[in-house]
Amino acid sequence: MLDDTNAKPLVSVRDLKMHFPIHAGLLRRRVGEVKAVDGVSFDVMEGETLGLVGESGCGKSTCGRAVLRLYDITAGEISIDGVEIGQMDQSRLRSKRPTMQMVFQDPQASLNPRMPVRDIIQEPLDEHTNLSLSEKREKVLELMDAVGLNRKFATRFPHAFSGGQRQRIGIARALALNPKFIVCDEPIAALDVSIQAQVVNLLEDLQEKLGLTYLFISHDLSMVRHIATRVAVMYLGRIVELAPREALYAEPLHPYTKALLSAVPEPNPALAQKQRVVLTGDVPSPSNPPKGCNFCTRCPVVQDICRTDDPETREVQPGRFVACHFVTPETTTTADPTAGPRSQELNQQGEET
């Protein structure tokens, strides 16, 4: 989905699908499937942070886990550091694990409560390296230093730490094998607001020092704006818009992105948006998505074609990709991406909504 001649993709995802079967009846027959991720494509360049945003239940976390092959994917291609892993069996994937790691959302749930911090951070080294015990212990202490944890706490258990400290332990564990690519699955969602900035600043510092590449999953649009290089907006299992950070926040093109950004509080009243876009209705079930555009049931500018034809993802501006019938390279030359034969009518509908 992204073509940047000045950077090399570290991660390439093409038409990724992750469908979970639904079984019912006494014989547990398959009666349907939940289309958690339904045809997602994107690239993550070396050294950048791609933000993946969207409302709860849109498939963000499932996408991140599928990219790391924590699930056996339904379909698609995943390439990390030039190696295709989409259909690779789990035994062969083991040797690729050091390249890609994950920081989980809930630090308390992702750490073994029966293991001291030293053993938690050391576990990846036990599994994937041949270092001596003394070398492993020294590596663990270096990792604790890197994430801002006191070495004296190495023998303490996770319950003795605060939420922010536990997340630092998770980050240290992810860094143990010197990965190139890290999926951060809402790493600040379970933390106090006062701690969130510290964790994000730590991630940025580590990225600069170690040359890391992040897929940063979050529903906090303000934090994504702070940390991300580019932003992908996801709705009901699909990416509806992908663009450089500043361009997307300054002028969102897809109707869903407009609604999402209009809900972000603006502390400066002089810069606050004049019009809040309020969507009606509920998000459709991923087990029975609407025909045509996934967003057609809630879109304020929907037309008949939206209910029958699935929109193609097009590059409407350099580096900007949008999946909408009415956002084209021609319409994006104006301030309103829905400009066209029915632009006045569409704008009126949006204002009324």
- For residues 187-211, average pLDDT: 90
Instruction: Give the pLDDT band of residue 273 (cuts 50, 70, 90).
Output: low
Q: What is the average pLDDT across 196-213?
A: 93
pLDDT of res. 333: 59
Higher pLDDT: 23 or 343? It is: 23
125-143 average pLDDT score? 94
Q: What pLDDT sits at residue 340? A: 38
Stated pTM of the model: 0.87
Least confident of 41-45, 133-137, 221-225: 221-225
DSSP, res 11 = E
> Which residue's entry shows tokens 């944890």?
149
Average pLDDT, stretch 79-89? 92
- Under 8 Å between Cβ of 223 and 191: no
In this predicted structure, the answer to whether residue 349 has a pLDDT above a threshold of 60 is: no
- Look up residue 240 and give its DSSP letter: E
Q: Is the pLDDT of residue 350 over 60?
A: no
pLDDT at 280 (0 to 100): 82
Whether the per-residue pLDDT at 189 is higher than 70: the answer is: yes
Mean pLDDT for 8-13 is 92
Q: Which strands, in side-by-side order, build the sheet including 213-217? A: 100-103, 181-185, 213-217, 49-53, 230-235, 238-244, 320-323, 313-317
DSSP 285: P
Which band of pLDDT confidence, cut at 50, 70 and 90, is reported for residue 193?
Answer: confident
What residue type is 294 in one-letter code? N
> Nearest 10 degrees: CA dihedral of 67, 212, 193, 117?
90
pLDDT of residue 192 exceeding 90: no
Q: Which amino acid appears at position 57 of this protein?
A: G
- pLDDT reading at 112 higher than 50: yes
> Tokens 């876009």 — which residue?
277
Q: What is the mean pLDDT of residues 48-58?
A: 93
Percent of the chain with pLDDT over 90: 68
Is the per-residue pLDDT at 339 higher than 70? no
Indicate the pLDDT class of residue 275, thresholds 50, 70 and 90: confident
Amino acid at 176: A
208: pLDDT strictly greater than 70: yes
Q: What is the mean pLDDT of residues 236-253?
A: 94
Cα(299)–Cα(40) distance, integer angstroms: 20
What was the pLDDT predicted at 263? 82
One-letter amino acid for residue 342 of the chain: R
β pairing state of 29-45 and 83-84: unpaired
In the DSSP assignment, the letter for residue 283 is: P
What pLDDT score does 155 carry? 95
Whether residue 2 has pLDDT greater than 60: no
Answer yes or no: is pLDDT of 145 > 50. Answer: yes
For Cα atoms 237, 337, 344, give the angle at the middle one, nearest 5 degrees.
120
What's the average model confidence in pLDDT over 285-310? Answer: 91
> Mean pLDDT of all residues in the chain?
88
Mean pLDDT in residue range 253-276: 79
In which region does residue 296 sit, left (phi positive, over 0), alpha (psi from -120 to 50) or beta (all else)? alpha
